[in-house]
């Protein structure tokens, strides 16, 4: 493992978004030390997004959480890396299909978030992949994979027994 990201890649992750509202603070308290956060909040106006990110970054530092910023727009620092774009530090990447997984691997991603593995409120009406198809998406790639989408702690443990590095969720933490 290189010095460009944390010595230990988190196995449990919280994906943030606007739907969480004040539930974000409860979810941050529930995350085990060493977990990761992908801060998305894409629809939040820029100034408010920077303020919110700063608050999340302070909590992440205090609680020993790894914070990754989604998107290419800097939000004021405090992150260990980026999601869905190349950047310094830890690079995570969405993988909804094989093409995205390969693009992530070529971009130097350290982790791929494969989704939606199960039915989820985040992608209403989307057909879930299931674990077998999720494994095929990342087969042969030398990047660790995280399952996302309708994942509960129990489903996350099953996925890890099937070879996934870890799991991510929104609702499971709120």
- Given this model, what pLDDT does residue 42 score? 93
This prediction has a pTM of: 0.93
- Given this model, what pLDDT does residue 3 score? 39
- Given this model, what pLDDT does residue 7 score? 57
pLDDT by position in tens, the chain (length 174): 333 455 589 999 999 999 999 999 999 999 999 999 999 999 999 999 999 999 999 999 999 999 999 998 889 889 999 999 988 899 999 999 999 999 999 999 999 999 999 999 877 888 999 999 999 999 999 999 999 999 999 999 999 999 999 999 999 998
User: For residues 2 and 30, what is the distance between their CA atoms, to the nearest angstrom?
Assistant: 29
- How many Cα atoms within 13 Å fall on the side-chain side of residue 130? 3
Pair 7, 1: CB distance under 8 Å: yes
**Residue 77: strand, helix, or coil:** coil
CATH number of 12-173: 3.20.20.70
User: For residues 2 and 71, what is the distance between their CA atoms, to the nearest angstrom?
Assistant: 22
- Given this model, what pLDDT does residue 5 score? 52
Pair 46, 74: CB distance under 8 Å: no
For residue 40, what are its two tokens?
């998305």
């Amino acid at each position: 493992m290189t010095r460009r990201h944390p010595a230990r890649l988190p196995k449990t992750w919280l994906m943030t978004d606007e739907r969480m509202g004040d539930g974000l603070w409860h979810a941050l308290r529930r995350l085990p030390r060493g977990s990761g956060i992908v801060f998305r909040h894409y629809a939040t106006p820029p100034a408010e997004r920077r303020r919110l990110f700063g608050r999340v970054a302070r909590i992440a530092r205090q609680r020993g959480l790894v914070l990754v910023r989604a998107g290419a727009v800097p939000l004021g620092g405090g992150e260990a890396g980026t999601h869905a774009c190349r950047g310094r530090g830890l690079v995570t990447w969405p993988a909804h299909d094989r093409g995205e997984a390969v693009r992530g691997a070529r971009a130097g991603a350290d982790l791929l978030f494969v989704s939606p593995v199960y039915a989820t409120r985040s992608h209403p009406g989307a057909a879930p992949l299931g674990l077998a198809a999720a494994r095929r998406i990342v087969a042969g790639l030398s990047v660790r994979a995280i399952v996302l989408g309708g994942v509960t702690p129990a489903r996350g443990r099953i996925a890890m027994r099937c070879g996934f590095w870890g799991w991510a969720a929104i609702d499971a933490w709120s």
